[in-house]
Amino acid sequence: MLLSTLDTLFLGDESRLFINSSPMKVTTVFVLSEDRHHNLAGIFLPVGILACLLSFPLCPVAAEELPEPTLSSLFPLGGQRGTTIQVQIRGKHLHEVNSLWMRSNSLQARIKSVDPIGEPAGDAPTPPEKNSSPDFRVIVQIDIDASAPTGLYPLRLVSKQGVTNALEFRVVDQPVIVETDVPGHSALELPRLPVIIQGRLAKPGEVDGYVFQALEGQDLSVEVLREPGGGLKGLLTFHRRPLPPEVRLALFGPKGSWLDPDRRARILFSEERSFKPVSLHTRGTHRVTQSGQLMLAVSSVFGKGHPDFSYELQLFSGDHCPVEKVGQEDPLGTDWLGRSFDREVGADWLDVLESRALDENKVSSGRSAQTGSVEAGETISPSRKRAIEQATESEPNDTRNEALTVSVPSVIAGTVNGPGDIDTFQFQVEPGQRLAFEIETPEIKLPYFNPRVSVVDAQDREIFTNIHRRVAVYNSMGEEDQYPRSLLPKVIYSFDTGGQYFLQVRDITSRYGGPGYAYRLLIRPQIPHIGQVVLEGVEHFNLVRGQARKLTISTAREEEFTGDVAFSFQGLPPGVEFLPTAEVHNIPPHELADTAVNPELILPKVQKTTIVLLAKATAPLTEMPRMIQLRIQPIVHGKPGAKLLVREIPLMVVGESETAQE
């Protein structure tokens, strides 16, 4: 009734907010372009709220806080295929758990027990809950099929309260050793290498020891695959909880010391430390100089310990790495990497960008639009490869006189060959031309390689760089930090004056360089497009029947994108609907140190949109989660672009729980 009223209210107005419900259960919200938003927000906001209130007078827009079943840890974090493994899952509000959901036929799981546990929270990575419900321990038996593909499998528990967050369970080919409590200071003996070790730093100050035989000349590698909390990808992303500790590795030699026979000498000194939020490997390599029994010790920085602190590491000999840490599939869907040094700025990158901006004729099927995939059969057109110059840097090119001439657009492949190496290129621009410069580091990544890109004019004046300086933010000590600097993977510049310019690439420190310091740099015209879309604070939905849940979506408008953005959910179960609100507001980019620069050319304008997901009172309860898909669709000059998948999210419709009623 109300929906049709709304439809009627805004029909015939291109810039309107409207709701469209189709038999396919696809619901779409149009978000106004920015310039029109200001005039109409005053109308839409009260109307939207009024609509919600009239339609569901007993249901608040923001769902009542219900005891969400939540997983905090998994131990062990994985197993070898072809084996059966018993896994302990810990979390909150798991008392009514009835099944395990892994979305794979290769793994068969069975819940063996659900028991409450009464441990203090300690420094566990779980966030403080508002209620004092006990923690639960769920024992699950998982049969891993011998043919199960190796990799990470999202694992969730399902209960009457809904579906939990996902933890990642790894299936490997190699033998897995599960740490057990060994009495005294004894170490667990590893039968052979390679081996995957599943351990847990359950108590503060705990050090787990593993002994194994090694031969002189053997090259050993040890690498942490997942640190405590590493299986909590969803939670870490969405709950801003305290970071769990970092794992420390130490390899000890075969003999005790003269002063203390129980004290072995540490022999591994090249461990790379991990650092959050910049994730690096905690990995060490060592060439054995003396055959004997070595010991690997695993502890945490400053001795943090908790039963939730599971870790996973691999110990192997030689170059063959049993488990590749990089390149695992992200079980929760991919994020848009437009502002990452990792995206591939190859020849078809322009098509990818245009698929997020323009009409269907410019969408390429040659490559996905990175945010999941383009919806099949809807807006895909035949591939249309752009002609784009490919240039390769060659030395010497440190100075402007040695610069290689490149055209626009073009992709340059180069390497910072050594400390202090500068690669220089020249290019021609037209007056008023606005260009984007994007750089990718395909091999050595941040923070080891920090490519500095700068453009200088014919008079050797530096026009701009990819170093972005903000002002008036505060560091963690509450002290004002006037000019925090960031290195940007993309920078856009509007050239008022045409002519010849020079592009220079080097490492920001001038102390690093070498064969791995490779980069790909794309010079192209500006392409306004939709950037990263973030569904804030949501990893899964447990909708209580008869209630609504408010969601916030942040949409980055890259390179002065001024079109509209439509959102849609696909695969909603019966009785679940998607409603608009009008809480749309823009978040201005940070204030820049250089006031002459248009901030939009440095960082995207971010638009936040609030929408509501509603489970009608009559909606059937779901017994298992259902994957729904959030998609976006750019609309420019009234023409819709491709529908792009933002994220797949498990959803359940649940009844009001007894716990909540209490």
| Binding site residues, other proteins, CB under 8 A | 122-123, 185, 204-207, 245-246, 248, 257-260, 263-266, 269-271, 273, 275-276, 278, 299-305, 419-420, 446-448, 450, 452, 454, 461-462, 465, 467, 469-470, 475-477, 479, 481, 483-487, 507-512
Determine if residue 25 is left, alpha or beta; phi over 0 gives left, psi from -120 to 50 gives alpha, anything else beta: left
**Closer to other proteins by Cβ: residue 310 or 465:** 465
d(CA 195, CA 374): 40
Give the shortest CB-588-to-other proteins separation in angstroms: 18
- For residue 209, the minimal CB distance to other proteins (Å) is 11
CB of 270 to other proteins, least distance (A): 8
Minimum distance, C-beta of residue 205 to other proteins, in the bound complex (Å): 4
Rounded to whole angstroms, how far apart are CA atoms 245 and 226? Answer: 11
Query: What three-state secondary structure class fits 213?
Result: strand
- % helix, strand, coil for the chain, step of 5: 10, 40, 50
Q: Are 21 and 27 in contact (CB under 8 A)?
A: yes
For residue 447, say if its preceding peptide bond is cis, omega within 30 degrees of 0. yes
**What stretch of H or E contains 172?**
strand 167-172
Give the integer Cα–Cα distance in Å for 473 and 484. 8
- Closer CB to other proteins, 245 or 650, in the complex: 245
CA-to-CA separations, 146 to 167, 325, 569, in angstroms, rounded: 22, 22, 37
Least distance in angstroms from the C-beta of 248 to other proteins: 8
DSSP state of 13: -
Distance of closest approach, residue 304 Cβ to other proteins, in angstroms: 4
CB of 326 vs other proteins, minimal distance in Å: 18
Q: Which is nearer to other proteins, 56 or 512 (CB)?
A: 512
Residue 257 beta carbon to other proteins: minimum distance, rounded to whole angstroms: 5
Query: Shortest gap between Cβ of 184 and other proteins (angstroms)?
Result: 11
- Sole residue written with tokens 């953005």: 565
Q: Which is nearer to other proteins, 165 or 454 (CB)?
A: 454
Choice between 275 and 390, CB closer to other proteins? 275
Q: Which is nearer to other proteins, 289 or 361 (CB)?
A: 289
Q: Smallest distance from the beta carbon of 210 to other proteins, in angstroms?
A: 15
The rounded distance, in Å, linking the Cα atoms of 597 and 493 is 9
In the beta sheet, which residues pair with residue 584? 609
What is the CB neighbour count within 10 angstroms for residue 109? Answer: 20
- Which CB sits closer to other proteins, 147 or 270? 270
- The secondary structure element, H or E, covering residue 54 is helix 34-55
Q: What is the distance, to the nearest Å, from the Cα of residue 632 to the centroid of all Cα atoms in its chain?
A: 18
- One-character DSSP codes across 555-610: EEEETS--SEEEEEEESPPTTEEEEEEEEEEEEPPPPBSSTTS-HHHHS-EEEEEE
Name the token pair of 60.
């608040």
Residue with smaller CB distance to other proteins, 410 or 465: 465
Closest CB to other proteins among residues 35, 479: 479
Backbone angles phi, psi at 601, to 5 degrees: -80, -15
Which residue number, 18 or 448, has a Cβ lying nearer to other proteins? Answer: 448
Nearer to other proteins, 64 or 480 (CB): 480
Q: In this structure, are residues 454 and 464 in contact, taking their beta carbons and an 8 Å threshold?
A: yes
529 vs 556: CA distance, rounded Å: 9
Q: How far is the CB of 252 from other proteins (least distance, A)?
A: 8
